[in-house]
Structure 1
Amino acid sequence: MNRNNNPSAARTVAFAFAAACALALVGCDSAPPAPEPPLAGAAIGGDFALTNSAGETVKWSDFAGKYRIVYFGYAFCPDICPTDMQRVAQGLKQLKESDPAKAGRIVPIFITVDPERDTPAVVGEFAAAFSPDIIGLTGTPEQIAATAKAFAVGYSKGEPVEGGGYLVDHTTVTYLFGPDGAPIATLPTDKGAEAVAAELDRWVN
């Protein structure tokens, strides 16, 4: 049969061709789905009541609507904590230079795991040494223990050091939380400030 002499068949072929073209266009125009955050659904975080450098009570809920970087450490740490905080501060600075609005939606928070030595003044001085934007928090040993547990951070007093004092063994992880307080991802402070800035740029909207 000559299909050119069959109007019904010709219409069927034309409709199928048009439908295929439409589907192709939809496929090209559709944006790929956003990747799911690595920590989506993780039971990390929760409300707390701690103390800032001015002696004021600060709660987790006070940061509602803001992205939050959270790091647990201690002011007398000889190397890891200062390095991580420096990279957080530098990463935020880089993001601020490229996208000030995005950086303005982020609050960096440092929480001590050494409340015996890290008074409000000490923790505030430590945080400010890296950036005036970093909020240093301390509390009673009980408050710090409860907060660390909620954020899946472990710590314990280590061996005494020469000259006095002691080290504190603790989890070294830098969390990023969303405006609703849900965990999003960990920041790669071990890879440098550029990697931190890139990860922030990826997840902060």
Structure 2
Amino acid sequence: MMRVYALSALAVAVLGVGGTAAYLALAPQEDDRFAQCRESAVAGGAAQIGGPFTLVSETGETVTEADVIDGLSLVYFGYTYCPDICPVDLQRNGEAIHLMDDKGIDGVKPVFITIDPNRDTPEQMAAYTDFMHPRMLGLTGSQEQVDAAVKAYRVFAQRRGDDPQDYLMDHSGFTYLMAPGEGMLEVFRREITPEKMAEQLECFVANY
């Protein structure tokens, strides 16, 4: 079974490329208009998460972080051949957006960035994301492009197995809420329910 690194309620250490620990912080500030929406309180600096990237969308277009993070964006890193963790996490993300859709609340874009560009072609990403939510955007690219995005988001991603096609990927399993000009607003751990995620996202939309 794939290893997933758990996020505590009070602190998180996200393993970066090469195993370097990066510490985040989302402690509410006095002038933080999203303070009532946050539930993460972790040590370090939230500004460490996110940054420039150039990737290829599921429709084959080259996109940058400015094209993708153009509003509230729910960003998850994984891969389509993941046997258990990624499908559960992405279905939860998609269900949270569906719950908001049912209330007529728009404004959050679900994003899925692969850590396995060797197998995850734009076509593969499109089919996968369409199943999770019709508005979910799948992103892939060259290995170098994906590595840069992984590094920017301090994601742990490591291949396990020598077979060129039949292998697994160990990776961190957080979902990040990003916004242009704001950076990371919230980090969601695996245990959160679709209902609770939708509730928090609605708060962020209302205050964005």
Answer whether TM exceeds 0.5 for this pair: yes
* Partner of residue 53, structure 1: 58
State the distance in 2 between where 1:33 and 1:54 align. Answer: 36
State the distance in 1 between where 2:189 and 2:144 align. Answer: 29
Contact 2:66 2:180 in 1 (8 A): no
Question: Structure 1 residues 72 and 121, CA, compared in 2 at 3 Å: closer, same or farther?
Answer: same
Contact 1:111 1:137 in 2 (8 A): yes
User: Does 1:43 pair with 2:43?
Assistant: no
Question: Structure 1 residues 63 and 111, CA, compared in 2 at 3 Å: closer, same or farther?
Answer: closer
Question: Aligned letter for 1:153?
Answer: V
Moved more, 117-126 or 60-69: 60-69
Q: How far did 1:135 drift?
A: 0.3
State the distance in 2 between where 1:186 and 1:33 align. Answer: 16
* Partner of residue 187, structure 1: 188
Over the matched positions of the two proteins, sequence identity in percent amounts to 35
State the distance in 2 between where 1:47 and 1:128 align. Answer: 25
Q: How far did 1:65 drift?
A: 4.3
- The runs of at least 4 consecutive aligned structure 1 residues that moved more than 4 Å come to 36-41
Moved more, 35-44 or 62-71: 35-44
Unaligned runs of 5+ in 2: 1-30
Moved more, 172-181 or 71-80: 172-181
Unaligned runs of 5+ in 1: 1-31
* Partner of residue 141, structure 2: 139
84, 88, 108: which one pairs with 2:93? 88
Question: Aligned letter for 1:67?
Answer: L
* Partner of residue 174, structure 1: 175
Give the alignment of 1:1-205 within 5 angstroms.
34=33, 35=35, 37=38, 38=40, 41-63=46-68, 65-98=70-103, 100=104, 103-159=105-161, 165-204=166-205, 205=207
State the distance in 2 between where 1:45 and 1:33 align. Answer: 19
Tell me, what secondary structure is at the counterpart of 1:77? coil
Q: How far did 1:188 drift?
A: 4.0
Question: Structure 1 residues 192 and 81, CA, compared in 2 at 3 Å: closer, same or farther?
Answer: same
Tell me, what secondary structure is at the counterpart of 1:107? strand
The TM-score, its normalising length taken from structure 1, stands at: 0.75
Moved more, 127-136 or 178-187: 178-187
**Aligned residues: CA RMSD:** 2.3
